[in-house]
Structure 1
Amino acid sequence: YMRAVYPWSKDNVALVCNDSGKVDGLPLNRCIEDYDVIAGNFFICGFSGEEFCSLTDKQFRYYEKLFRDPELFLPTPIGIMPMKCTPDQYKRLMQERSAANRGER
């Protein structure tokens, strides 16, 4: 099941994501400001009334920049902490995590 959420009241945009991404154990993807953490894939689209529509060019540039770089989620004693990183850093850290899980060094 998919759901649309509207965390940005200033824009007529919706974030469409898996309704049960966290429950289903999908990987954490992005921290949406003070709203929530999105698990699994998602997309951003415009809305007009009750209809989804294309983003304006200005909205596209803003959200493309906002979500350009991946995020890592680090466990801490008080919960998870999101950390933005470059695509190369993300790839390297994921390879290191995978090797550590396999017992390699």
Structure 2
Amino acid sequence: MFVCDGEGKLKHKPLNRPLENYDVLSGDFFVCGLGKNDFTSLTDKQFRRYEKLFRDPELFLQTPIGIMPMKCTPDQYKRLMQERNAANREER
């Protein structure tokens, strides 16, 4: 199960991860197991799968046909977010 802020896009949080081919998570999230009545821990196998899947950040590029995700290094992501925040401050 993915747990996230359901209003992340409305709050203009940064795009984070694509969900299949139909949506994108915005802002922070976490992955957990789902028991009968509550969240549960992931199995070791599940943990390894999601750790590998989400290890590197992703950038989202605007293209003529829509948004395209692209894996990047943590340094590239940090630099882009700093540039984006600086540009947003200048617009205000």
Fold match by TM threshold 0.5: yes
Q: Which consecutive unaligned segments of at least 5 residues does structure 1 have? A: 1-13
Aligned residue in 2 for 1:69: 56
Higher helix share: 2
Number of residue-to-residue matches in the alignment: 89
Aligned residue in 2 for 1:94: 81
Shift in Å, 1:72: 0.5
AA paired with 2:39?
F
Partners of 2:83 and 2:15 lie apart in 1 by 18
Higher relative contact order (CA 8 A, sep 6+): 2
Q: Does 1:79 align with 2:66?
A: yes
Q: Does 1:33 align with 2:26?
A: no
Q: Tell me the SS of whatever aligns to 1:72.
A: strand
Aligned residue in 1 for 2:6: 19
Q: Does 1:60 align with 2:50?
A: no
Partners of 1:21 and 1:90 lie apart in 2 by 19
- Report the TM-score, using the length of structure 1 for normalisation: 0.73
AA paired with 2:54?
F
Percent identity reads 70
Give the CA RMSD over aligned residues: 1.9
- Report the TM-score, using the length of structure 2 for normalisation: 0.82
